[in-house]
Structure 1
């Protein structure tokens, strides 16, 4: 289940309406993130992640003059421009690039982060990033196209500016840490940095510019596990053993990311992309794809939390997936894992023991507690 962030604490009117609905918002433009949308982007250093108990409230400050129950979404977004990192100064200008959207992956007003495939043409970039034009996936954190109405509790407004800042700071921090620790390119996509751009808007009778944040990552040419499960023809191309072999790699990837310092915290079939293998075929059977874990906007970088590094990070080897997932039911992977696991935790636990015990256990830190089978 997706972890819930602690909500912001907006100043609400004394008696909020019982059946609040988002008010008419004539200033709000249609969602622009469609094919052929083009903009210049500039490299950006995000603030530290914030917004849940592990991180604390961060630099966010509520405004007493903004009442969520009476403001429009545009008014909220304009009252809360995206956060900037404190005490950042550089004598050299930030690298820039031209971004053009080639196609959409998940774009909709009210969706939250917008996902698009884009071409990126560098103008001035550091040597660590590609110098020639390249394709990437852009994840755009534009609060104007988040859901103003709470999806978990109808008739309640959400401070969309706060939510977009939280998502952006978590995603950028996770990718940056995974990149610095050599974890991108295998179980996580390659990371091409965090960026910002501006869009024009007419607000309160004035034409102004507003800032929007995004991250760029590798475009994985493969389906998600969820989309395969929804396609009987595609699913039939995988035997049960194939699916479990891939699933074992997913769990292995998670514990290796945790050992490196990142907990993705939203493990679900929709967040695992199957990258086609570059290995040669053996016989008539093509090699299994490599699972790639995406979606880090609720992730935690342990070193950036109040608790700091976790004890298991100090070990030479990662935790054994048996220990991490022993009591996990994997409901988000229904259709991929065996249906007989439903309602029978022992079968799942037995598979974990067979897969990650014995000789395979030498790849991980020894299990530190006795694992009891479910009754």
Structure 2
């Protein structure tokens, strides 16, 4: 993990959802749930969406528990996922005040990027057609645009904990946590970009947080349930992970090319932290290469290197919204040097992208960091806070 200023220990504030008196059932598995509809997020799905103000981020030790309140009458070991979703509608902003009707649009799914019952957030490419009509004399109505929607629907999160078998997950809580984290981080980075501080942040363009409703039947009663989502730029290109899984595509990038892109990624992480966001999930699957083609095909060596874009902020922390306030790295005029930030990081998720000589060789990684971000390049960053010592191996 990147080095950072030590923080005091943080409490575990995840909801316990304690079962009713008595021992929980042994070897729990999700019970039959005949009321649960099939995952609908497929090409052709269309729905009206409205702008939504998310609650402040919560559910992480950096943020605190927020306004979430568990209920004593909902024992996760004894209910269906449908009942959990019905009993725990998404949270609203605690200080939301009555306002004019929220802007609305029609969302139509064009293709699925990552859609599966149980995967958590659903990712789709969609067209957005705003409903807003122009005022007299203000020209044409807003044009439709293409976007990626990240849909935080708790009905299609995994009800069983994938890291602890036979343990239920508070899916409604988890979806709200993911939504508030993602919306807060993307909104913060977008505002920095609008005020001229967005150079090198490597974040996708953000088109806001939204909500829509879907019908559901529970206990014989038909009702509507709210679902939250965020919209962002559709980046035409594969992830680094996808390129690494396609030998011909990976071979079209020289080691020098890969390290130039990797250096841009590390620089982007440092600049995001300086802007006030810690993405906290730097992985090959979360770095998209803007190539103009979604397929990880071989790159034309005559073309410029693709720009990396960092995605997936549903566990991110916006320092200024956290219990600790601004991070020390934000107080400097320049971002922290990636050399210092990543001096002790092994980058295991980028094993196929980085040189083979780095595998198990911290000193080789550190020598590259110093060569890339030291010397004249160091003037782009805050001074290193102390002497960085090379590992012995």
Which bracket does the TM-score occupy, shorter chain normalised?
over 0.9
Matched, 1:309 2:309: no
Moved more, 181-190 or 219-228: 181-190
CA contact (8 A) 2:240 2:289 kept: yes
Determine the structure 1 residue equivalent to 2:291: 276
Matched, 1:47 2:55: yes
Give the SS at the match of 2:112.
strand
Matched, 1:370 2:379: no
Q: Distance in 2 between matches of 1:353 and 1:125?
A: 55
Matched, 1:234 2:241: no
Determine the structure 2 residue equivalent to 1:70: 78
Matched, 1:102 2:102: no
Q: Distance in 1 between matches of 2:310 and 2:160?
A: 29
Do the aligned partners of residues 125 and 169 (structure 1) sit closer, same or farther apart at CA in structure 2, a change above 3 Å counting? farther
Q: Distance in 2 between matches of 1:135 and 1:204?
A: 38
CA contact (8 A) 1:184 1:190 kept: no
TM-score normalised by L of structure 2: 0.90
Matched, 1:171 2:182: yes
Q: Distance in 2 between matches of 1:84 and 1:184?
A: 33
Determine the structure 1 residue equivalent to 2:205: 190
Deviation track 1:92-150 (CA, whole Å, cap 9, x = no partner) reads: 211100000000000000000000000000012899xx921000000000000000000
Determine the structure 1 residue equivalent to 2:18: 11
Q: Distance in 1 between matches of 2:87 and 2:199?
A: 36
Deviation track 1:184-224 (CA, whole Å, cap 9, x = no partner) reads: 89601100000000000111101100000000000000000
CA contact (8 A) 2:210 2:229 kept: yes
TM-score normalised by L of structure 1: 0.94
Q: Distance in 2 between matches of 1:218 and 1:35?
A: 18
Q: Which runs of 5+ in 1 are unaligned?
A: 278-282
Do the aligned partners of residues 191 and 302 (structure 1) sit closer, same or farther apart at CA in structure 2, a change above 3 Å counting? same
Give the SS at the match of 2:309.
strand
Give the SS at the match of 1:86.
coil
CA contact (8 A) 1:31 1:145 kept: yes
CA contact (8 A) 1:141 1:213 kept: yes
Do the aligned partners of residues 52 and 141 (structure 1) sit closer, same or farther apart at CA in structure 2, a change above 3 Å counting? same
Do the aligned partners of residues 289 and 204 (structure 1) sit closer, same or farther apart at CA in structure 2, a change above 3 Å counting? same
Match of 1:285 among 302, 313, 336: 302
CA contact (8 A) 2:252 2:301 kept: no
Match of 2:157 among 135, 143, 146: 146
Match of 1:245 among 251, 257, 260: 260
Q: Distance in 2 between matches of 1:162 and 1:57?
A: 10
CA contact (8 A) 1:345 1:374 kept: yes
Do the aligned partners of residues 66 and 125 (structure 1) sit closer, same or farther apart at CA in structure 2, a change above 3 Å counting? farther
Matched, 1:300 2:317: yes
**Alignment length, in residue pairs?**
366
Match of 1:131 among 126, 139, 142: 142
Moved more, 211-220 or 365-374: 365-374
Q: What is the aligned-residue RMSD (CA, Å)?
A: 1.9
Determine the structure 1 residue equivalent to 2:366: 349
- Cα distance, 1:18 vs structure 2: 2.1
Q: Distance in 1 between matches of 2:13 and 2:362?
A: 31
Do the aligned partners of residues 161 and 154 (structure 1) sit closer, same or farther apart at CA in structure 2, a change above 3 Å counting? same
Matched, 1:262 2:256: no
Determine the structure 2 residue equivalent to 1:28: 36
